[in-house]
Structure 1
Amino acid sequence: MSMTNLAGRVAVVTGGSSGIGYATVELLLEAGAAVALCGRDAARLDTAVAKLRERFPAARLLAQSCDVLAPEQVAAFAARVEQELGAASILVNNAGQGRVSTFADTADEAWMEELRLKFFSIIHPTRAFLPQLKNSADAAVVCVNSLLAVQPEPHMVATSAARAGVHNLVRSLATEFAPDGVRVNGILIGLVESGQWKRRFDARPEEDQHLDWAAWTRRLAQKKQIQIGRLGLPEEAARAIVFLASPLSSYTTGSHIDVSGGLSRHV
């Protein structure tokens, strides 16, 4: 289902080879955009591109292995995007995952690693693509963030703190970039089906072996008090991302869309 017409636009998605990133690439291609995606795992990236080309044989699609924490790699990726597809007008910052740890068992090195990942997975791509975005009409940056930014969990102390910082960063960037015509927004995701949750399902204890994926995730949603009663789907998060990246949200900047199925308890 295409939500808007993005023909003639160039979009970039980091962490685009799986999960929410991959679902976002699919929706952007459906909307007619040319899309560049990157990821660290070259094999996973190749698999994703093969599936995308099968579904969208006429699409303008570019993929490159890239570590968003390596600024020289991100700069090279940005240069290639502009050369082969044209100037990017949409940037989706989607790299990163959660760290399960409490304050008592989080070492200094773990704090530094988590803060570096959450901040610089946004800083490096935004810095590299900003000149292109500034030269594009209705440019948009969308950052995939977590509900932990406003509703922290004690068992994810480092990730919660880092996510709160990203929430603030989005607001700061929106203010700074507004005079240049670049909108910056984010989404706050709750529990979304992912490889991480699939691995936890595979490692479930013996007493839960009788549960299939649907039953296990329903019980998880009940335990977490998710009002909709299930985990989110990657494509549901992707729809919010594409909305914020498109002219449909042309008067929105510095904001976040809650995509948590009612897990949110803040007002």
Structure 2
Amino acid sequence: MENSGHIMIDSKELAGKRVLVTGGTKGGMGEAIVKRLTKAGATVITTARSAPDELKDSELFIQVDISTPEGTNKIVEYILERFGGVDILVNNVGGSSTPTGGVLKQTDTDWQRTFDTNLFAAVRLDRGLLPPMIKQGYGVILHITSIQRRFPGENTMAYSAAKAALANYSKALATELAPKGIRINSVAPGFTETKAAERLIERMAQERECDYKNARQALMDSLGGIPIGRTARPEEVAELVAFLVSDRASYIVGAEHTIDGGIVRTL
């Protein structure tokens, strides 16, 4: 057992497990998930569009654009050839770069790119990596959705729609595959202070001519406030993921777990 802050980590809990976490670099949730599952003893492969500055093990990294069919095919081929499949798949990649200004500013290309990244990447990877899981009668797939699917706005409608579709797909897939020994769930994070979020807050601070703290508070207020009074840390999301992919969660199937500090106030 390893003491990581206030959390005791069983360094053997995931020993022998082959794991793929998409988008596991650049100071985001993916990187935190990679570190957490590695500490639990898993062999963790990850992906990103660009290689990290400090690449410790090239065999455990795939440089690829996961939003394209060619990208997901490359991942599947590599995983099957090198590892024979995975036991755990965490579909973490997501995000949106659609322009602001409402629906008339968002083109077919913007919508397609958003759905390719947030929905079809997961669908293609699941389809490619499920056969070995089904054959061995065991597997865990986790989809990272977002509370944003419940808060569609004029500048996030494509992203919100894609994440809503991902949650719906995840539920249906869980029902289909549970009898085959495959557990599928999803995690819906709220405002998590990743490196990307930090850059957004810094830009807001410059635009509003205020400091970082006030810009962060303005962003929290725009969500209706966060009852717990702060943003989430990527490590907190990673801890939930570590639980859900472990055998401790062996009876949890087809559930979406919100981790948002209380932002979502509906049942």
Shorter-chain TM-score bucket reads: 0.7 to 0.9
Shift of 1:68: 1.6
Instruction: Quote the residue 2:37 is aligned against.
Output: 28
CA contact (8 A) 1:138 1:247 kept: no
219 and 70 in structure 1: CA distance in 2 versus 1, 3 angstrom threshold: closer
What is the identity, as a one-letter code, of the residue corresponding to 1:125?
L
Shift of 1:93: 0.3
SS of match in other structure, 2:19: strand
Whether 1:236 aligns to 2:244 is no
2:15 to 3, 7, 16: 7
SS of match in other structure, 2:32: helix
223 and 187 in structure 1: CA distance in 2 versus 1, 3 angstrom threshold: same
Instruction: Quote the residue 2:60 is aligned against.
Output: 62
After superposition, residues 75-224 of structure 1 pair within 5 angstroms as 75-98=73-96, 99=98, 101=100, 102-136=102-136, 138-206=138-206, 211-212=211-212, 214=213, 216-224=215-223
1:36-65 deviation digits (Å, cap 9, x = unpaired): 1111112x2x53x33xx6xxxxxx961111
CA contact (8 A) 2:14 2:41 kept: yes
Shift of 1:151: 3.2
CA contact (8 A) 1:23 1:238 kept: yes
Shift of 1:205: 4.6
Distance 1:62 1:32 in 2: 14
SS of match in other structure, 1:38: strand
Shift of 1:105: 2.7
Instruction: Quote the residue 1:57 is aligned against.
Output: none
87 and 230 in structure 1: CA distance in 2 versus 1, 3 angstrom threshold: same
Give the gaps of 5 or more residues in structure 2. Answer: none
Distance 1:205 1:25 in 2: 31
TM-score computed with the length of structure 1 as normaliser: 0.85
Identity of aligned residues (%): 29
TM-score computed with the length of structure 2 as normaliser: 0.85
Shift of 1:208: 5.2
CA contact (8 A) 1:201 1:216 kept: yes
CA contact (8 A) 1:87 1:136 kept: no
SS of match in other structure, 2:144: strand
Instruction: Quote the residue 1:37 is aligned against.
Output: 46
Deviates more, 1:130-139 or 1:28-37: 130-139
Instruction: Quote the residue 1:56 is aligned against.
Output: none
Shift of 1:222: 4.1
Shift of 1:223: 4.5
What is the identity, as a one-letter code, of the residue corresponding to 1:108?
D
SS of match in other structure, 2:41: coil
SS of match in other structure, 2:239: helix
What is the identity, as a one-letter code, of the residue corresponding to 2:95?
Q
SS of match in other structure, 2:66: coil
Distance 1:194 1:13 in 2: 16
CA contact (8 A) 2:205 2:215 kept: no
What is the identity, as a one-letter code, of the residue corresponding to 2:219?
L
SS of match in other structure, 1:12: strand
Q: How many residues align?
A: 255
